[in-house]
């Protein structure tokens, strides 16, 4: 799609994840889905596929500043934003993602459509208008803003970061992290969004699986491989890519 980009945020110290991540993207995403693919990284190397446009950031900066600088080079009207440990294990539904871009076109009040149900408040929310699988969220909820995979209006995602707290994405002190505090920014900007739910099963305490972008969310937990959260999928991928789990360890 001419107006849709893929935006990937990573860091060079996680390059051991890249072979799995990039290979699974290539295997499970229709190559015509994204007009361009961008990689935000501190130090690129020859493990980055040639079809990615690399935007470098200064790793001495906080996440918010890193992201704002890199986003200035994203030209497409819409983007799907993920990290390198969002590992696809089945085909992404290009047909549904295309539909959701069209839904954003028809509903200018929406800034994003999240591809999965999940969050601190685990309940069903009203349907959005006459859309069977889209449900209303509200920015008064905790973790209204999260880094869960979604399709965004690029300008709104950029503005949330531009106006957001000057923090790293996550901290041990979770209330002092960008992901937690950016919900307040969404309230100030009156950001509105919805999530899709197609009856997928629950995965862990808060998240649900997604048929739209079937991925491990996330493959790394505190730097270790997330085998406990996705035992069948993670073990299969670690074996396929011949990854020695003793190096990082597992949870």
pLDDT tens-place string over residues 114-126:
999 986 566 678 9
Helix (H, G, I), strand (E, B) or coil at 152: strand
Does the pTM surpass 0.85? The reply is yes
In a domain, 241, yes or no: no
User: To the nearest whole number, what is the mean pLDDT of the chain?
Assistant: 94
- With a cut of 80, say whether residue 173 has pLDDT above it: no
CA distance 233 to 227: 8
CATH number at residue 228: 3.90.550
Q: Produce one character per residue of 95-116: b if its CB has 16 or more CB atoms within 10 Å, e if not.
A: ebbbbbbebbeeeeebbbbbbb
In a domain, 249, yes or no: no
Mean pLDDT, residues 175-199: 93
In a domain, 127, yes or no: yes
Backbone angles phi, psi at 130, to 5 degrees: -105, 25
CA distance 220 to 216: 9
> Which pLDDT score, from 0 to 100, does residue 59 have?
94
Closest by CA position to 59, among listed 6, 21, 9, 7: 9
In a domain, 226, yes or no: yes
Number of domains in the chain: 1
Mean pLDDT, residues 2-22: 97
Range of the domain at 170: 4-235
In a domain, 169, yes or no: yes
In a domain, 248, yes or no: no
> Which pLDDT score, from 0 to 100, does residue 124 have?
74
In a domain, 50, yes or no: yes
- With a cut of 60, say whether residue 177 has pLDDT above it: yes
Residue 23's pLDDT band, with cuts at 50, 70 and 90, is very high
CA distance 251 to 242: 18
Residue 169's pLDDT band, with cuts at 50, 70 and 90, is confident
pLDDT in tens, 81-92: 999 999 999 999
In a domain, 243, yes or no: no
> Which pLDDT score, from 0 to 100, does residue 206 have?
79
């Amino acid at each position: 799609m001419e107006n849709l980009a893929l935006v990937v945020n990573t860091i060079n110290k996680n390059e051991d994840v890249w072979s799995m991540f990039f290979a699974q993207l290539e295997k499970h995403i229709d190559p015509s889905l994204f007009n361009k693919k961008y990689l935000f990284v501190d130090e690129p190397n020859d493990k980055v596929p040639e079809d990615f446009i690399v935007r470098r950031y200064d790793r001495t900066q906080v996440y918010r500043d890193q992201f704002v600088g890199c986003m200035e080079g994203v030209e497409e009207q819409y983007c799907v934003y993920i990290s390198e440990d969002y590992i696809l294990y089945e085909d992404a539904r290009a047909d549904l993602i295309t539909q959701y871009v069209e839904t954003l076109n028809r509903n200018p009040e929406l800034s994003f459509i999240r591809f999965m149900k999940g969050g601190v408040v685990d309940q069903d929310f009203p349907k959005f208008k006459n859309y069977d699988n889209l449900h209303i969220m509200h920015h008064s909820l905790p973790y209204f803003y999260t880094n869960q995979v979604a399709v965004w209006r690029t300008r709104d995602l950029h503005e949330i970061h531009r106006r957001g707290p000057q923090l790293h994405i996550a901290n041990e002190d979770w209330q002092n992290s960008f992901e937690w505090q950016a919900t307040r920014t969404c309230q100030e900007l009156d950001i509105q969004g919805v999530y899709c739910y197609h009856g997928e099963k629950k995965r862990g305490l808060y998240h649900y699986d997604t048929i739209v972008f079937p991925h491990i969310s996330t493959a790394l937990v505190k730097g270790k491989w997330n085998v406990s959260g996705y035992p069948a999928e993670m073990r299969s991928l670690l074996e396929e890519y011949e990854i020695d789990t003793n190096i990082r360890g597992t949870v």
